[in-house]
Each structure stands twice: as C-alpha cells, then as structure tokens.
Amino acid sequence: MNILFIMFDQLRFDYLSCAGHPHLHTPHIDSIAEKGVRFTRAYVQSPVCGASRMSCYTGRYASSHGAQYNGYPLRVGEITLGDHLRGAGMGCWLIGKTHMVVDAKGMERLGLARDSVVGARQAECGFDVWQRDDGLWAEGPDGFYDAKRSPYNEFLKSKGYPGDNPWNDFANSAAQEGDIASGWFMANADKPANIAEEDSETPWLTSEVIRFIEQAEGPWCAHVSYIKPHWPYIVPAPYHDMYGPNHVPAATRHPSERIDPHPVYGAFMNNVIGQAFARDEVRQKVIPAYMGLIKQIDDQMGRLFGFLKETGRMDDTMIVITSDHGDYLGDHWLGEKDLFHDPSVKVPLIIYDPRAGADATRGTTSDALVQAIDLAPTFLEAAGGEPAGHILEGRSLRPLLHGETPEDWRDFAISEYDYANSPACTKLGVTPRDARLFMVADKRWKFMHAEGGFRPMLFDLENDPQELVDLGANAAHADVIALMYERLGKWGRRMSQRVTRSDADIEAARGKGRRKGILLGVFEGADVDDHLTVKYRGPIPQNGPDQGR
Amino acid sequence: MNILFIMFDQLRFDYLSCAGHPHLHTPHIDSIAEKGVRFTRAYVQSPVCGASRMSCYTGRYASSHGAQYNGYPLRVGEITLGDHLRGAGMGCWLIGKTHMVVDAKGMERLGLARDSVVGARQAECGFDVWQRDDGLWAEGPDGFYDAKRSPYNEFLKSKGYPGDNPWNDFANSAAQEGDIASGWFMANADKPANIAEEDSETPWLTSEVIRFIEQAEGPWCAHVSYIKPHWPYIVPAPYHDMYGPNHVPAATRHPSERIDPHPVYGAFMNNVIGQAFARDEVRQKVIPAYMGLIKQIDDQMGRLFGFLKETGRMDDTMIVITSDHGDYLGDHWLGEKDLFHDPSVKVPLIIYDPRAGADATRGTTSDALVQAIDLAPTFLEAAGGEPAGHILEGRSLRPLLHGETPEDWRDFAISEYDYANSPACTKLGVTPRDARLFMVADKRWKFMHAEGGFRPMLFDLENDPQELVDLGANAAHADVIALMYERLGKWGRRMSQRVTRSDADIEAARGKGRRKGILLGVFEGADVDDHLTVKYRGPIPQNGPDQGR
C-alpha cells in the first residue's frame, strides 16, 4: 500500500460541499469522502502553519517537538514520520510545502552537512524531497527569495515569465492598466491573477505529484502539500469570478463578543488583520477568491484522482485530505488563524483506506475526537511498522476507519498556540514564555487556558455551537473548568520525551536487574539463588607468589 | 575561573558533620562549607542515579530530557553542560561516573561515529573524557564488564591484582578464610575490603583528579564523580571499623507508616530492599560501612583540597560538593532511594565561590529551594556564557551565593521518579506510562502525585519534619493538595522543548514580519508604508515581445 497524504494550507473544515457548504461544490474531494471516512471533529495541534505541520510530521504535540511557531527550527534529531516509515520499509517523500526551518546550530553541533543524505533529511523534517516549495516568495527590504527553495518560481521563469519573482508579479498579482495589482492587497482579490490558469501553483504542484507517482517504486508515502487556499487571496480566471458577494456566508460573529472579551482574544480582535476582516467589504472581496482557490483545488483533485484510477493506484493507495489549520475569514471578528474557534483549529480530514477492512465505513462520517498527530501512527501502522507510542503521541485511526469503536478512545483533544511573536504579546505585556495558549476540547465543551495570569475561556458546544458566548468567567461553570484543568494537568504530565526506550523494551527488561549481577537488598548468600552469586563466592584469585600485593 | 564539580553517589544530606551528623566527622568537606554556602533544601530532579545525573548534565527536568531511569539512553542531540560551557570557552571534562547510556539508534540514524569528536561527546553526555568509570563491574550470567569502561579495574590489574575482575574480588569483597566475602552480601559490610586502602576506588579517582588538574589548561570545568558511598557497602581498613552499631542513628520510621500506606510506598516497603533494611542487623552492619566510606571520602577531599591550596587553584576554582541522591538506610522502612522522603531526594549541596562577590556569604547556609538543575546555569554564568533559559530549566545560584535574595525565586521544587522497571510496577499492575511519580515541595509541604489513579501523598514539613504522617487522604488538607496540583499543572505546561529559539531571539524578531514582505490584513496600498510595498506596485516586468506567455 502507498499513502497519498494531501494537505492544503488554511483550508477551513466547512468550505467543502461534503461538509455542507451552501455554495461551493467540490465533487472530487467529496468523492473521496464517499469512499472513505470524513472526520467531523479533527483538530490540529496548533492553529498556525509551522507548528501544526511539525506536529503532523513528528506525530507529537507542539510542546513536545518544540517548534512552536513559524520559523522556529525543529531540533536536530527529532524523530520524524520519514524515520518511522523508512524503518518500516516505506519511502517518505515531500512534494510541496513543509514550513520546515533547519536547526542550523544543532546541525553544526553534530557536524551534519546539509548535502549528506542524513543532513538533507534533518534539514527537510525527515522527508526525501521531490519538490520543496513553501510558496510565499515575498520580497521587500528583507525579502527571503531563494532560488533553491522555489522550484515553482523557477518553473515560471522557465515558461518565460519575466522578472526575478514571477511568483509575486504574475501568480499572485493581477494586472491593472499595465501595473502590478498585488494579491497582497485584499482590494485586488476579485481580479484574476495575471497568469495562465495551468501555470498557477495548484496545477503545477498537481503535475509534480503525477510526475512523482509515474516513476515511484513502492511502497511510498507522498506528502502532497499545497500552499493554497492560503493567502495571498487571488486566483486566475475562470476561478476569480465564479463566486461573488452573494455567495459569502454571513460572518459567525456577534457584537457581544467585543464586550469585555478575554484579553488575549481582545488583542487579536484589535490587530490589523482582525480589524480588516471586521469590514464587510474585505470579506466580500476575499471570500469569493478563497472559494475560487478551493474550486481550483477541487478540479485539480479531479485530475489527480483520475490519474490514480487510470493507473490502478486507487486500489492500493490510502488517500488523506486535510489542512494545517483553517481561516477565520472574519468569523469572531478575526482574520487568519491563531486562536481556537472552530474555523481556525478544526480542519477537514477525509481518509480513504483501500483495504477491505474499511469497506464497512465507506461514505460515513466519524465524530470521534481526532487529532492531526493521529496521522503519523495511522501511516506507520499501514506501513506495517512497530507501534512507537513512546515517540508518537497520537493514535492510529485504523480502528475508526475499520468500523471499530475503541472504548478507550481519547475523551479530550489538545491544541496549543504560541503567540510570543505577535504584537498581541507586546501589547499585553506578556513574556515570550507566558505567551502560550492551550485548548482542551471534548464533544460538549471547548476550554482555553492562557498562561500569564489570565482567566480561561469556555464554550458550550452543544448549546452554543457557534462559540459566541464565552463562559470562562461564569461561576456556574466552575466544575467544568476544574475538569478541564485536571485534563490539562494530566496532559502536561504526559510521558513525551522518553523517545529512546519503548514501553515494550521496559516490560521486557523487568526483573532482569538481578541477572546482571547487581544484588540489592541481599544480606547473605542464602537470600538469593546460587547461580546469581557464582562470582561472589569461592577462592580468591591468585597470580602466584608475586601477585603484587 | 575553573569549576570543580564534585559529585558523590548516594551520599545522604545529613551524613556530614557540617550538616549535624552526631558521630561522623568530615572536617575537609566542612572546610568548604566554611568558605562557601551550604544549601539545606537542595533537591535532585529524580532520586535515582541515571535520571538525576542526566538532569545535572543537561540542566533539565527528567521529563524534559527523557532519560527517566537508569539505562535509558539520553537522546542524541540533547544539549549538555559541555555544549554550553564549550560555547562559552570553557572545557568540560569527566573524571569518574556518569551513568550515561548512548542513544545508539539515534547515533546510527544521524550517522554519528563513536570515534569522532562529536560522536564521542554524544556518547558521553557532552563531556570530554579524562576517565570514565561507572563502577559496578558486576559479573554474573549477564554481567556487563567492559575493559574500556573500567579504567579502575584496569588500574587494579596493572597493580598486580589477579583475576578478571579485581573490582569485584578485592575492592568490593573482603577475604574470609581464603574465600571471597562479597560486599554484595550486606552481612560482610563490617569486614575490611581485601585491598590496600590507597588502591581503593576513592583514592584512585582522587589521584586521577590531581593528575588532570596538573596538566589542565584553563578555564576548565571538571566533573569529579565518585561512585562511593554507593553500595556495595564495604570499605578497606582502617575505615571498616571506625564506626560501629553504637554510632548508628535510630531509623526515622514509625510502625504507623506501615498501616494502610500509599500503595506505591507500600509496594516499595515490601520489596526485598525495604524488607532487608527493616531489619536492625542490616542497618547495624551497613551503616558503619557507609560511614567509613564517607570518612574515607572526606580524607581524600583533604588530600585534594591540600593540592589545590599548594598550587594556587583554591583562589580561582569554584568548588561544588553534592550527590546524585541519598540513601534511605532503613528510614521509612526503605532501603536505596527511589521515593521522595528527605533521605532520598534531598542532597548535600555546598558551593565555594572564590569570587569577591561571595565574601558576604562565606560559611553561611541557605534554606532557599534549590534544585540540582540549578548547577548548569550557575556554571554557565560563571563561565561568562549567555544565559540559555530556553534550554536550561534551572536558575543560576549566583545571586544566592552573592548574598542577594531574589524576590522571584521559585516557591516550589519538583522531582520525578519513573518506577516502570521496578517489581513494584508489576505488582501494582501499573503500565510503564503510568509508573511515574511527581514531587512538589515548598518549605512547608511536600506533596507526591502518582499517575495511575492513586491518591496523593502529603507531608507537613513544619509539624512533621521527619515525614512520618501522610496527610494525602486527609480531607482537611484539600486546599493544600489543590494548590499542589495547580503548581504541578503549571510545571507540566512549562516551555521545555523550544530549545532552538531563545526568548531574546523572539523579542528581537518581534514586529519584523512586515519587513519580510509578508503583508497580512492589508486591504490596499494606502494601509501600509510605501517602502514595504515597493515590489507590489509599478509596471509589470517585460521580457520583450517574446516573453513566452
């Protein structure tokens, strides 16, 4: 079996027709849901690209792998999905974005060269690279364009798009009277990107995936990682005007949310992004483009799945469709991601498992509490590897895919967010160490703890599914809050770093202490089996008369 | 300045005359207390050799470094004291024991060879090795004698001691009618080890320290790490009969402790070691030998400190005297270490700081809550390095050594214990993952949480300084227990793995996002400074008429 692990960037859980979107029709993605299981309570471990992805690629919570925000290097030696899968005989390839930043100091400390196989994998979060492209080839006074890191940009140049950064000037900008109309300016979101549709990012990456599969020798796991529908919010024709303001759902927000909000929530509401998305004109410009990007994605999925069918790969390939986090798009007076309302922290997760064991669940949904870190153990199990519960903190989803309902499935999900880099942190006067948020969610309640002396937040998901009423200061819910703190405490005490010794190793070693010749608590020889004391009895060794003493 | 970081193994906090022992006179160690500060509330981060030492050598809690028990490898790439000190221009050397186990799988994954400088440091927990000797050259059916790891044994052979393992046959055994009388049998503890005193382990290692210092070029940190007074409890003449049963303090224990004890405590009480030390004859044999080993240690310290004075090193060398944990010796019906009563988790800690700033505190004691992980940051500061609070979880003791009383000093200390390998775990039916204990201690209370659904333990250190009355099931103390759980929760949420990005890095990077050319929340050009949008405006690049589009 192979694994096609498809991740979109910033794709909301509810912007698919299979998830009930009223205007967006995504038949190709829906076709996978029809063949597999769609999880309706899938949470990312951190609602921001870098940290969320490092959790997916290590199968570990953000606090466990330590790369808690964009641009924080993943420490050298952290064990990755690639390490696990290769150990089980499955290749692990990257086609697209990871947001990985190399731990250059750690590599230097260990003398690892980037151009060695080991060094390259360390630098690429454990993947072997087919194409690495993180998108975002921004320029400016301190821009970070890097030809080696931008195969898409190089592709555009090879196609004749002029200038140093056609990613910026064409793929992510419109043309307006001969001038660049940048996608960075949301006012331009309703314009068509100044690029042939087939040359835009999503079709380019899809072509790379097909090219990879055509030559791949299995078993393989391919992490197919699209930058879209992530901003800049701009899409080429014909997708730019498929949707208009009349297709924009009303924002999930209420004026009462702005009255005495939790201080951290309030600070995010008041940042430039929150203020922008509070404006209806911004939503009406951006959301149709966002929908167009998703429609384009779905069409490309149609192309990809068609290829799989033609080549027989649909029968031996597990297909996973998910996202690294969502997008507020003005809900709750916020833009971007960051906090723990559903539009941000809940993601689409659809898994098609070709094995017969999954026949019973095809076309169903599961409302189990699942986490992005469950994917790595799911893949490892599919690859036939030994479970690695001392390293991987998620749980294999196989039982859920195969119609089993494990009684001991988790009863709460965890997500984290480190906002130490944000202006909110400065504004609130919080130290980097205290700028951390924790979500604990079960099926009824969603709780948020903020370090730094703040009160918690709490939503009643049953009576307030839109998460509009924060009960965190409500004394009537003290019991729920206490329970959530108890769960958070249990999670905080979890065994997360004993990565060099498995539970099975420990169990196998039990009781062997005495056999190593270490005798503790023995008063005299009669207290212990003779065979353990063979060296501790008998005549003193002699070298002869000149034994030197 | 140099640092002499002296660690004994299994030395109780109260078996020194400066700590009030009624019979044991340790003038040389006391002389350092007279020149420095003796800490009366110093806790190790785990009361077992391997985990405690890995905490000392990384400056991190056991749950953070993951080597939570003896024999658990320290994960490759974990940043060590040696890494920190060398980064500050100070060498970091090992002379003696570490209990380090190499992460062989991790080394292989990263392609690190043991015989490279990098590989050797990884394998030796960051130290450059002058001598590595962990003692315990046990033999038996699965013995683990290794000539490369036992320079002391090789020394004995070079002196003419016969046989394969003179460590066992002479240094740790007595002679009885021409037969080996093994120190592993506590009944032999009152006999003299069958070895010339000057050839025994403590003098040998002291000679190695002197030999190291004679050739060392500074600045250096030398971790001088003695195996003694660790078992086997046996010592050469004249130390074997300096003390007798009349010098053995009454055991700190009460029959009431055996009535309905906390299940984990009860399981340890009932193991073979606890049962042995419950017998008076065991204490009366063992404790005089333990005291003799300490007396020998103190004499060797006299030799070492005399050498430092003669060579002028006393003026430029910080001297630290501590232990990796204590020894119950029958207190609380227990032997060995493992749990969190003071005889086990509290250690001697004496620091002599030659700097003038420490003149005000010479000869004083400090009752501040200090932890073994405070040593690494203390040393790093002494070496002039940048603080590394994102990696090191302790705090520099310099303020306390220099007479300052930081208002924000910690108000609780943490220790942990992983008993997954013990027979107690099997007997209690606890999984390896749940076989973990946590201590939270302040100056008034000591609390223990056990995973796995057990009630906590609680001692009132003010009214019950001997820790004889467990209040963990006492409803009257629910508030204290709640406070302790709150502290444990806060600790559990600590930022422990963001080791690749310092707080200072984060603060320096704040607000730079926009300068990188990423513009979020910008509706139109007018919303943002012109210089940030220079690439997003202006004419579209042209290649001429054949630009390929």
Q: In the Cβ-directed half-sphere of A379, how many Cα atoms lie within 13 Å?
A: 35
Q: How many whole angstroms separate alpha carbon B529 and alpha carbon A28?
A: 42
**Which residues does B49 contact at the CB level (< 8 Å), separation at least 6?**
B9, B70, B99, B324, B325
Residue count (chain B): 549
Which 3-state string (H, E, C) describes B138-193?
A: CCCCCCCCCHHHCHHHHHHHHCCCCCCCHHHHHHCEEEECCEEEECCCHHHCCCEC
Q: Is the Cβ pair B184, A106 closer than 8 Å?
A: no
- Residue B152 backbone dihedrals phi, psi, to 5 degrees: -65, -45
3-state secondary structure of A7: strand
3-state helix, strand, coil in chain B (%, to 5): 40, 15, 45
Give contacts of B134 with chain A, Cβ < 8 Å. none
Q: Is the Cβ pair B496, A63 closer than 8 Å?
A: yes
Query: Can you count the helices (H) and strands (E) in chain B?
Result: 18, 16
Can the peptide bond before residue A232 be classed as cis, meaning omega within 30 degrees of 0? yes
- Tell me how close the Cα of A56 comes to any Cα of chain B, in angstroms: 17
Question: Looking at residues B45-74, what average pLDDT do you find?
Answer: 97
User: Mean pLDDT score of chain B, rounded to an integer?
Assistant: 94
Judged against a pLDDT cut of 80, whether residue B140 lies above it is answered with no
Residue of B nearest to A199 (CA): B549
**B96 DSSP β-pair partners:** B132, B225
- One-letter amino acid at B382 equals A
**Percent of chain B topping pLDDT 90:** 89
Q: Is the Cβ pair B77, A110 closer than 8 Å?
A: yes
Q: How many whole angstroms separate alpha carbon A344 and alpha carbon B176?
A: 76
Can the peptide bond before residue B229 be classed as cis, meaning omega within 30 degrees of 0? yes
- Tell me how close the Cα of B137 comes to any Cα of chain A, in angstroms: 9
Q: Is the Cβ pair A163, B513 closer than 8 Å?
A: no
- Tell me how close the Cα of A120 comes to any Cα of chain B, in angstroms: 11
- What Å distances lie between residue B363 and A72, B15, B30, B313, B351, CA to CA? 45, 18, 9, 20, 10
Residue of A nearest to B158 (CA): A548
Which among B119, B90, B83, B126 has a CA at the least distance from the CA of B104? B119
- Tell me how close the Cα of A32 comes to any Cα of chain B, in angstroms: 33
pLDDT value, residue B146: 63
> What tokens does B429 get?
């039916």
Residue of A nearest to B278 (CA): A521
**Which residues does A490 contact at the CB level (< 8 Å), separation at least 6?**
none
Give contacts of A517 with chain B, Cβ < 8 Å. 138-144
Kindly calculate the radius of gyration of chain A based on its CA atoms and give it in whole angstroms: 26
**CA angle, residues B313, B319, B324, in degrees to nearest 5:** 145
pLDDT value, residue B548: 46
- Tell me how close the Cα of B74 comes to any Cα of chain A, in angstroms: 7
In this structure, are residues A30 and A347 in contact, taking their beta carbons and an 8 Å threshold?
no
pLDDT value, residue B145: 59
Q: Is the Cβ pair A541, B111 closer than 8 Å?
A: no
Q: Which of A522-531, B85-94, B168-177 has the lowest mean pLDDT?
A: A522-531
Which among A83, A151, A177 has a CA at the least distance from the CA of A379? A83
In this structure, are residues A372 and A347 in contact, taking their beta carbons and an 8 Å threshold?
yes
Question: Looking at residues B374-388, what average pLDDT do you find?
Answer: 97
pLDDT value, residue B297: 98
- What Å distances lie between residue A357 and A4, A349, A379, A382, A406, CA to CA? 19, 19, 15, 12, 15
Q: Is the Cβ pair A336, B520 closer than 8 Å?
A: yes
pLDDT, tens only, A239-274 = 999 999 999 999 999 999 999 999 999 999 999 999
> What tokens does B187 get?
């009944």
- Tell me how close the Cα of B202 comes to any Cα of chain A, in angstroms: 18
pLDDT value, residue A61: 98
**CA angle, residues A201, A349, A253, in degrees to nearest 5:** 85
**Which residue from B106, B420, B488 is facing A506, i.e. has the nearest CB?**
B420
Q: In the Cβ-directed half-sphere of A324, how many Cα atoms lie within 13 Å?
A: 30
In this structure, are residues B435 and B419 in contact, taking their beta carbons and an 8 Å threshold?
yes
Give contacts of A518 with chain B, Cβ < 8 Å. 136, 138
pLDDT value, residue B232: 95
Q: How many whole angstroms separate alpha carbon B200 and alpha carbon A232?
A: 73
Residue of A nearest to B168 (CA): A536
Which among B138, B239, B260, B159 has a CA at the least distance from the CA of B191? B239
- Tell me how close the Cα of A352 comes to any Cα of chain B, in angstroms: 32
Q: Which of A493, A524, A529 to mutate to test the interface with B (most CBs of B within 10 A)?
A: A493
> What tokens does B203 get?
């003098």
In this structure, are residues B119 and B107 in contact, taking their beta carbons and an 8 Å threshold?
yes
Check residue B199 and give left, alpha or beta (phi > 0: left; psi -120 to 50: alpha). Answer: alpha
Q: Is the Cβ pair A77, B166 closer than 8 Å?
A: no
Give contacts of A66 with chain B, Cβ < 8 Å. 496-500
- Tell me how close the Cα of B359 comes to any Cα of chain A, in angstroms: 34
Give contacts of B486 with chain A, Cβ < 8 Å. 485
- Tell me how close the Cα of B269 comes to any Cα of chain A, in angstroms: 12
Give contacts of B103 with chain A, Cβ < 8 Å. 500
Residue of A nearest to B73 (CA): A500
**Which residue from B438, B503, B536 is facing A184, i.e. has the nearest CB?**
B536
**Which residues does A371 contact at the CB level (< 8 Å), separation at least 6?**
A42, A43, A44, A45, A394, A410, A413, A414
ipTM: 0.95
How many other C-beta atoms lie within 10 A of the C-beta of residue B120? 16
pLDDT value, residue B150: 85
- Give all strands of the β-sheet with A413-418 in edge-to-edge order: A413-418, A436-441, A445-450, A457-460
Q: How many whole angstroms separate alpha carbon B331 and alpha carbon B390?
A: 38
Q: How many whole angstroms separate alpha carbon B110 and alpha carbon A111?
A: 10
Q: How many whole angstroms separate alpha carbon A434 and alpha carbon B507?
A: 13
pLDDT, one tens digit for every residue, chain A (549 residues): 999 999 999 999 999 999 999 999 999 999 999 999 999 999 999 999 999 999 999 999 999 999 999 999 999 999 999 999 999 999 999 999 999 999 999 999 999 999 999 999 999 999 999 999 988 776 554 555 566 678 999 999 999 999 888 999 999 999 999 899 999 999 999 999 999 999 999 999 999 999 999 999 989 999 999 999 999 999 999 999 999 999 999 999 999 999 999 999 999 999 999 999 999 999 999 999 999 999 999 999 999 999 999 999 999 999 999 999 999 999 999 999 999 999 999 999 999 999 999 999 999 999 999 999 999 999 999 999 999 999 999 999 999 999 999 999 999 999 999 999 998 999 999 999 999 999 999 999 999 999 999 999 999 999 999 999 999 999 999 999 999 999 999 999 999 999 999 999 999 988 776 666 778 889 988 888 887 787 788 899 987 544 444
In this structure, are residues A468 and A256 in contact, taking their beta carbons and an 8 Å threshold?
yes
Residue of B nearest to A498 (CA): B66
Check residue A511 and give left, alpha or beta (phi > 0: left; psi -120 to 50: alpha). Answer: left
**Which residue from A144, A162, A493 is facing B492, i.e. has the nearest CB?**
A493
3-state secondary structure of B297: helix
Judged against a pLDDT cut of 50, whether residue B239 lies above it is answered with yes
Kindly calculate the radius of gyration of chain B based on its CA atoms and give it in whole angstroms: 26
pLDDT value, residue A545: 46
Residue of A nearest to B61 (CA): A497
In this structure, are residues A43 and A346 in contact, taking their beta carbons and an 8 Å threshold?
yes
**Which residue from B110, B180, B506 is facing A536, i.e. has the nearest CB?**
B180
B250 DSSP assignment: P
Q: Which of A83, A422, A428, A519 to mutate to test the interface with B (most CBs of B within 10 A)?
A: A519
> What tokens does B265 get?
């405590």
3-state secondary structure of A193: coil
Q: How many whole angstroms separate alpha carbon A415 and alpha carbon B480?
A: 29
Buried b (16+ CB within 10 A) or exposed e, A56-78: bbbbbbbbbbbbbbbbbbbbbbb
Which 3-state string (H, E, C) describes B341-355?
A: CHHHHECCEEEECCC
**Which residue from B274, B423, B534 is facing A511, i.e. has the nearest CB?**
B423
If pLDDT is split at 50, 70 and 90, which confidence band does B391 have?
A: very high
- One-letter amino acid at B77 equals G
> Please, what is the end-to-end C-alpha distance for chain A in angstroms?
69
Q: Is the Cβ pair A161, B548 closer than 8 Å?
A: yes
Q: Is the Cβ pair A522, B276 closer than 8 Å?
A: yes
pLDDT value, residue A531: 78
Q: Which of B491, B506, B531 to mutate to test the interface with A (most CBs of A within 10 A)?
A: B506
pLDDT value, residue B510: 81
Question: Which pTM was predicted?
Answer: 0.96
Q: How many whole angstroms separate alpha carbon A543 and alpha carbon A227?
A: 76
Chain pair A-B, CB pairs under 8 angstroms: 375
In this structure, are residues B132 and B117 in contact, taking their beta carbons and an 8 Å threshold?
no
Which among A51, A33, A49 has a CA at the least distance from the CA of A348? A33
Q: Which of B107, B109, B284 to mutate to test the interface with A (most CBs of A within 10 A)?
A: B109
Give contacts of B285 with chain A, Cβ < 8 Å. 523
A483/B534: higher pLDDT: A483
**Which residue from B186, B525, B541 is facing A163, i.e. has the nearest CB?**
B541
- Tell me how close the Cα of B164 comes to any Cα of chain A, in angstroms: 9
Give contacts of A543 with chain B, Cβ < 8 Å. 160, 162
Burial class (CB in 10 A: 0-12, 13-18, 19+), B383: buried
